Amino acid sequence: MGTTALITGASSGIGLELAKIHASRGGNLVLVARREEKLANLKADLEKKYGVSVQYIVKDLFIPNAPKEVYEEVENRNITVDYLINNAGFGYFGMFREADWDKDFQTIDLNITVLTQFCKLFLQDMLKQGSGKIMNIASSAAFQPGPKMAVYYATKAYVLHFSEALNNEVRKMGITVTTLCPGPTTTGFPTAVDRTNSRLLKILSLPTAREVAKYGYKAMINGRSVAIYGTLNTVMATSVRFIPRSLVVKTVRLIQEKSKP
């Protein structure tokens, strides 16, 4: 029987592509997202194409204690999760002083609290099994402050540092924790946060969600701690260590600004 991966935010973008990749390798799936119709269609498609078992849990992860409800449902279905992939994320583009608190709260809650709770819950079972893999999706934003997306950048820094520390704690127990750090990707996320006209997205040729997912999945299987997608993202993430922080912040602000029509 193949390994079972639980993927949050599995109905679109990188999460969707990760589900397809895992199924193509003979792996079973537990898909978590809010849109039941998409999950049902994906289940039917993957089971027909790859002959794997696909189950889904319709859950709004913004609801308090949603990860525990998902975990309990997995337990009730007698599913053993071998791979946990925390892909669900949220963010917005704009000045912190101008944004509604609800947006800040949702960004912090989903990107930090929900991810951490999923790790806490499923890690206990992995420790009992003596094996398992966790992949947390961070971002190239994790390596520097991000004016005009201040909360989002900060949450991704948390994901990176938390995941690296956790990997160190559990690696000798047969479990690896991989942090995938993609840059801007054609996932629909830039549109959701109103960055479609930013200087950065005007300059770059964005990778597809499929390309990022393939890279991240391979890194997880190989047990890599940190996987930064793309040469430019890797250079930028590394170079910020050697540049004055005041200049780093100013540069990110410049990149984030919208281009003139």
Catalytic residue numbers, as ranges: 152
E strand spans, the chain: 4-8, 28-33, 54-58, 83-86, 132-137, 175-181, 226-228
Report the candidate in 14, 13, 42 with the shortest Cα–Cα distance to residue 215: 14
Q: How far apart are CA 254 and CA 163, in angstroms?
A: 29
User: From the DSSP assignment, how many helices (H) and strands (E) are in the chain?
Assistant: 11, 7
Q: How far apart are CA 153 and CA 148, in angstroms?
A: 9
83-86, strands of its sheet edge to edge: 54-58, 28-33, 4-8, 83-86, 132-137, 175-181, 226-228
Strands 175-181 and 28-33: unpaired
Q: What share of the chain is helix, strand, coil (3-state, %, to 5)?
A: 55, 15, 30
Query: ∠ at Cα 113 (173, 122), nearest 5°?
Result: 35
Q: How far apart are CA 133 and CA 126, in angstroms?
A: 8
